[in-house]
Structure 1
Amino acid sequence: MHIRDRIRELRRVRAGDLRPNPRNWRTHPKTQQDALRGVLAEIGYADALLARELEDGSLELIDGHLRAETTPDALVPVLVLDVSAEEAAKLLAVLDPLASLAGRNEDVLRDLLLDVETAHPGLQTLLDELAGGSGGAEDTPEADGKADGAPEPPLPDLFQIVVQCRDEDQQRELFERLTGEGFSCRLVNL
């Protein structure tokens, strides 16, 4: 199969100069806006916006509307695509839903979250949701290690318990023990 490279160039463009796509159907709740602000504050731009060049030379967004709205005065990385209006519409329709189809490997995610810390409350909310197993596409039996594909039992009432450990080794030992017994845990260094 021949796959075309549709990226024409990478440009740094003032975000406020990008034209929002009038067909953008995505909305951005406050929780998403807060989490994005946290990522931008703690890391910065680590992904390019997608746009296509119109006949008048302006750039119309395909992906990255919230990032552009959040930082209108910033110079942002934009991948300028060589796509028609119809192809741009197709990308606009499927990029986010395509990403949301991914399953979750809870063990790998749990290990990843052990190494992720933030001081930003909006980003912490997102991390807490990830740790709790909410959001995203349905897990596949292969992704979460279940061979029989049986549905997860409903979660009981949730409680938060803070445990103070004498050192990091004790903390990790307790974490492994509790997660091995099926508890959802998150390590926090105070």
Structure 2
Amino acid sequence: MHIIDRVKELRRVPASELKPNPRNWRIHPAQQQDALRGVLADVGFADAVVARELPDGTLELVDGHLRAETMGDALVPVLVVDLDDQQATKVLLTHDALAEMATVDRTNFTSLMGDVTFEHDSVIAMLEKLEAETPSPTTEDHRPEVEIPELYQVVAECENELEQQSLYERLRDEGYKCRVLSL
């Protein structure tokens, strides 16, 4: 498979100059906004927003709407990508959805939680919620045993459907419990 690199450049642009994508489908509740402000205060920017350059030279966001809204006139790192409208819509629709498909390695998560401290209550609350929603490895490792009854079965290969039907009827007439399978 040939993968095209769509990143043209990295720019630092005042967040207020970035045009929000009118088709953005993500809504950012107050808790998320507070948590983002907390992470930005504790760490700063460690990621870039993604935008595409429109014909008039303005930059339209593809990812990073909340970060751009939060930063006001401050400079933010922007990955400028070479995407047409259709491609930008595909990224807009799938970027966050793909990230949400990831699952949690509870052992690594717990280790990370023990290695850092955050000052902002909103960040702590976000991580505590994530921790509470993450299944414990002991829960996954101790699934109840399912009792499977002993069954003795025979699979017979037939030349065609007519032979299969005939064999099924004969065995059923002899008192066997039968099922027809087609593989």
In the other structure, the counterpart of 1:8 is 8
Q: Once the two structures are superposed, what CA deviation does each residue of 1:117-173 show, in whole Å capped at 9, x if it has no partner?
A: 011111111121122235xxxx7xxx958468x59xxxxxxxxxxxxxxxxxxxxxx
* Partners of 1:16 and 1:69 within 8 A in 2: yes
Mapping of residues 54-93 of structure 1, within 5 Å: 54-93=54-93
Cα distance in 2 for partners of 1:108, 1:43 equals 20
- How many Å apart are 1:116 and its aligned residue? 1.8
> For residue 48 of structure 1, what is the amino acid of its counterpart?
A
RMSD: 1.9
Q: What is the DSSP-based 3-state SS (H/G/I as helix, E as strand, rest coil) of the residue aligned with 1:77? A: strand
Cα distance in 2 for partners of 1:125, 1:77 equals 27
In the other structure, the counterpart of 1:121 is 121
Cα distance in 2 for partners of 1:8, 1:147 equals 46
> For residue 15 of structure 1, what is the amino acid of its counterpart?
A
Structure 2 residue ranges without an equivalent (≥5): 145-183
Cα distance in 2 for partners of 1:110, 1:58 equals 43
Cα distance in 1 for partners of 2:44, 2:81 equals 23
Cα distance in 2 for partners of 1:109, 1:133 equals 12
- Provide the TM-score with structure 1 as the length reference: 0.71
> For residue 111 of structure 2, what is the amino acid of its counterpart?
D
Q: Once the two structures are superposed, what CA deviation does each residue of 1:28-61 show, in whole Å capped at 9, x if it has no partner?
A: 0111001000011111110000000000000000
- How many Å apart are 1:108 and its aligned residue? 1.2
Q: Once the two structures are superposed, what CA deviation does each residue of 1:165-188 show, in whole Å capped at 9, x if it has no partner?
A: xxxxxxxxxxxxxxxxxxxxxxxx
Cα distance in 1 for partners of 2:100, 2:33 equals 18
Structure 1 residue ranges without an equivalent (≥5): 152-190
In the other structure, the counterpart of 2:40 is 40
Q: What is the DSSP-based 3-state SS (H/G/I as helix, E as strand, rest coil) of the residue aligned with 1:87? A: helix
> For residue 73 of structure 1, what is the amino acid of its counterpart?
D
- How many Å apart are 1:3 and its aligned residue? 1.0
- How many Å apart are 1:14 and its aligned residue? 0.3
Mapping of residues 1-190 of structure 1, within 5 Å: 1-133=1-133, 144=137, 146=140, 150=143
> For residue 105 of structure 1, what is the amino acid of its counterpart?
D
Larger % of helix: which? Answer: 2
Cα distance in 2 for partners of 1:95, 1:55 equals 24
Larger radius of gyration: 2
Cα distance in 1 for partners of 2:2, 2:116 equals 38
